[in-house]
Amino acid sequence: MLEDHVSFLRTVAAFHHYRSQSVAAWEMRKANFLKLQSQHKNVLCIDLDAMFKLYDECICRNSAFFESVCEASLELFMSYWPDGTTIARADIPPPTALDMDKVFSTLRQFVRDWSAEGLPERECVYKPVLDFFEKMYPTRDARSAVKILIPGAGLCRLSVELAYRGFFAQANEFSYHMLIAGHYIQNHCFESKQHVIYPYCDNTCNLVNRLDQFAEVAIPDLCAAEALDDLRDQQLEFGELSMVAGDFTEVYAKEHQQRSWNAVATVFFIDTAHNIIEYLQIIYDLLVPGGYWVNCGPLLYHFADSAEDMSIELSLGELISVAQKIGFAVCCPPSFIDTTYTNNQRSMKQLVYRCAFFVLQRPLDDAAPAVAAATA
């Protein structure tokens, strides 16, 4: 519990450090420009003073937004720890470089999940998942009894979309950066386009135009209050929506979770495993007989290059074969979707993933053999 408390406060500290980190990085770039010889400065078609001022305005606004996010998170998360739980400031480790990288990437996650600009990415990977569930459960009134788990939920847009369609949706997330940001966007935004952020202002590479660096993005494109009003106007109910914090392999490997979910939806998630066979076994055990595992994502394998961490990397074909040996039946064989992830549409750099979309099912008769997952 104390370790979780420290991790949470370190993440909050990372958000608070956004401005100082951004200013330090920009001061270095500014110094480089000022080192230019006069003849080189004279040929620049950049108004340096205007550019520096614009950058400062962007990071000030991003910083103010993050302060609001942190304030809301402290109200919620600190209530989970027992009264009297205190930690000296000196005991909170300073944010690491990885902590700060996650802060900057959180801005782009907001774009992906909660802006109109992120719609093309969401259409590529969320829509096939949503379409499948709507097809399998066409009667809306019956969806409240359909329990869908979304591990690696990030900022929870897929979970919200499922609940909006009437399903029982539970999001699971391990990252405090995502938990803090996801809590804010769902519970403290009361109108669409409430905030304007500048997600690309720290990026000086692959720019077509200088102003692309300072592009603004309005979030959220959908807020919970407006979504509820929309459903009430249609005399429809919002499905039950919840969030569970913690490691997927720890939270959902417990016996009481077994055979309690009608479906598990994984989007850009399964390659976060140290041992993907363990993930597959847990997903199988979670499902009721006849339940579905719906997946869309690449196989990047986040720990593949780590010398300290275990990493089991299977090909897609091997993954499907292992899943079948565990007991899954192939309902929809893999098809492929080309998409980006937290992409800047204006950038000269466009990284495309070839994502596998497939649906596997735990058989109704449940007669298939199970394979014990290896423990990392």
CATH of the domain at 342: 3.40.50.150
Distance (Å) of CA 174 to CA 5, 40, 106, 247, 310: 14, 49, 14, 5, 18
β-bridge partners, 275: 312
Please report whether residue 297 resides in a domain. Answer: yes
What pLDDT is attached to residue 133?
99
Please report whether residue 156 resides in a domain. Answer: yes
The domain total for the chain is 1
Contact 311, 301 (CB under 8 A): yes
Please report whether residue 323 resides in a domain. Answer: yes
Structural domain of 208: 97-362
β-bridge partners, 195: 219
- Residue type at 63? S
Residue 196, CB half-sphere, CA atoms under 13 Å: how many? 7
Weakly modelled stretches of the chain, pLDDT under 50:
84, 87-88, 90, 368-376
Rounded distance, CA 293 to CA 34, Å?
56
Q: Are strands 217-219 and 147-151 parallel, antiparallel or unpaired?
A: unpaired
Please report whether residue 3 resides in a domain. Answer: no
What pLDDT is attached to residue 93?
72
Please report whether residue 25 resides in a domain. Answer: no
Please report whether residue 9 resides in a domain. Answer: no
Please report whether residue 59 resides in a domain. Answer: no
**Residue ranges with strand state E in 125-167:** 147-151
Please report whether residue 107 resides in a domain. Answer: yes
Rounded distance, CA 41 to CA 271, Å?
47
Rounded distance, CA 188 to CA 40, Å?
48
What pLDDT is attached to residue 115?
98
What pLDDT is attached to residue 229?
86
